[in-house]
A and B are shown apart, each in its own frame.
Chain A
């Protein structure tokens, strides 16, 4: 199982507490994890990636294993610790605004 840590706004929207646990098939990448996340929680569509372009929204960042993966290819493999479910894949709202 893949662990995804959502920011507070999205936990409220998805009505979840704590990390989300996802079954992800095939290679573990940003795209496959986010596809699985949106399949399980369709209300999150458009809030992390743009509906049309599937690009990461400007004020959203992706982190795992203390690395900023925001600018990595969405099809690049995520760290092994994420793939093994030992570390969460973090979706983070950038520090901006009030």
Chain B
């Protein structure tokens, strides 16, 4: 019988939530790696039992864990992320040059076809790849070698490469996003990259239309339309239909277009989800109401989804990697909050219920649909 496995990264460990296809009764496993910050947990599309975990602390740095049995057992693998050549400098908060320094892995993206190949998006921003199941890591240095690196700068959370999207129709094409540099694309497997930020407007940087410097929070794609991307920028929800060559705003009637998370329905490529957050200084939902907004028209027209979500006195945040969907016939949607709740909807967002309420602050949520 099919089911789902929800992989949750939190400030103090990882949790695995499992259910059958009804998604009513849940088994909670964890904390795994108790006490460590778990920025991301993700399973291989090619082998659902292969999981990768980014584990870190300020004291002891980065560790990568791997499971080959769906999270029953774990094995620490390689944690050496060395920038290729002379790292160079990027812009610091005050505009001065600052040397590139590895801090942590924000996002792990397993290959669509090979369980032993996995990409890592890191802070300070760079993209690494492992072809040996995480034992060793090599930088895809063409990204930082694009030439705009000295103009990249950290967002409030650090200068992180947080989004990696592998094009299912073209193994040579990868999209990534960096806060605060913007989105980039390679069409030759990571050898060379170009910024894809035309159409983004960021009033908080000196040139609102700059080639780089935009604080992109997250990007999502439906695998049936790999040229269409949806972006939650610092402010603004954006869309491209030409693989990032040009973007247009689709914030429409959202109560605020600031936010972090964005995702696409598993079976409806024009149905997208965001969680509007009041502002960059007040990282909580407007009016204390936790509302997911859904657009069935690829943006512009949004409806609030509130059933089962707290509609008063709610002041949590939903971080950029903390929303995911399953691919069961009735698409499930999931998100985690900085208050430690993980909410699930088994009917595409119409009704919500918490799976768990009191975890540590949730950093990431990923979902595996199991056979």
Contacts and interface: CB of A to CB of B under 8 A. Distances in A.
B63 A43 contact: yes
Given A13-B76, A45-B79, A7 B33 contact: no
Specify the main secondary structure of chain A where it touches its partner: loop
A51 B80 contact: yes
Interface in A1-44: 7-10, 12-13, 43
A13 B57 CA distance: 12
A93 B60 contact: yes
Most buried by A among B60, B62, B82: B60
Contacts of A12: 33-36
B80 A59 contact: no
A66 to B, nearest CB: 21
Most buried by A among B35, B61, B80: B61
A42 B63 CA distance: 11
Contacts of B33: 12-13
B61 A47 contact: yes
A13 B63 contact: yes
Contact of B59 (A46, A52, A57): A57
B58 interface: yes
A46 B79 contact: yes
B59 A9 contact: yes
Contacts of A83: none
Interface of B: 33-36, 57-63, 76, 79-80, 82
11 contacts: A8-B35, A13-B33, A46-B62, A47-B60, A47-B61, A51-B80, A57-B60, A57-B61, A60-B59, A94-B59, A96-B58
